[in-house]
């Protein structure tokens, strides 16, 4: 039985920019290691892997929530040709709950984070998409009138 969401991993070309973006959302670096060798190559299915693996944790979150960043030295990462197109098959977006959407959006925009759309209300939530590192879509949600479960 699944207990809870544990982590999401994002392959990035600009590690510092990705750390800054997730830092603005409250994530802090927990671990940073270089992964390489046969064990990781076999597990990841990536021959000759060598990559920085940075684990970011959401400060104060219970249960623990991680964003893991992979920055490849070898092989060169493959481009995602339609990453910002939410009609593509596969991964779509990740969403984080916030207490005050408007205040969070204002703070993030002040730091240069780009919104992908206007705030909308849907299923007892106020929602907005952000343009994240490598054009991934990160959504923020503020629950209205009921606690998020």
Class (C level, CATH) for 94-143: alpha beta
pTM over 0.75: yes
pLDDT at 147: 57
* In the chain, where the domains are located: 7-74, 94-143
pLDDT at 88: 76
Residue 94 burial by Cβ neighbours in a 10 Å radius (0-12, 13-18, 19+): middle
The answer to whether 54 and 19 have CB atoms below 8 angstroms apart is yes
Whether domain 7-74 has CATH 1.10.540.10: no
Could you read off the pLDDT tens digit of each residue along the chain, which spans 149 residues?
778 888 999 999 999 999 999 999 999 999 999 999 999 999 999 999 999 999 999 999 999 999 999 999 999 888 877 777 777 777 889 999 999 999 999 999 999 999 999 999 999 999 999 999 999 999 999 999 765 55
Interatomic CA distance for residues 54 and 31, integer angstroms: 6
């Amino acid at each position: 039985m699944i207990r809870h969401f544990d982590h999401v991993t994002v392959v990035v070309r600009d590690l510092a920019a990705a750390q800054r973006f997730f830092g603005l959302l409250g994530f802090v670096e927990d671990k940073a290691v270089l992964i390489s060798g046969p064990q990781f190559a076999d597990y990841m299915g990536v021959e000759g892997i060598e990559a920085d693996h940075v684990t970011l944790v959401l400060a104060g979150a219970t249960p623990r929530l991680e964003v893991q960043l992979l920055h490849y030295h070898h092989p060169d990462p493959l481009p995602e040709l339609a990453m910002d197109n939410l009609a593509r098959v596969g991964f779509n977006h990740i969403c984080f709950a916030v207490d005050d959407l408007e205040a969070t959006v204002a703070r993030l925009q002040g730091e240069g984070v780009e919104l992908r759309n206007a705030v909308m209300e849907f299923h007892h939530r106020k929602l907005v998409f952000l343009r994240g590192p490598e054009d991934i879509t990160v959504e923020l949600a503020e629950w209205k009138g009921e606690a998020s479960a």
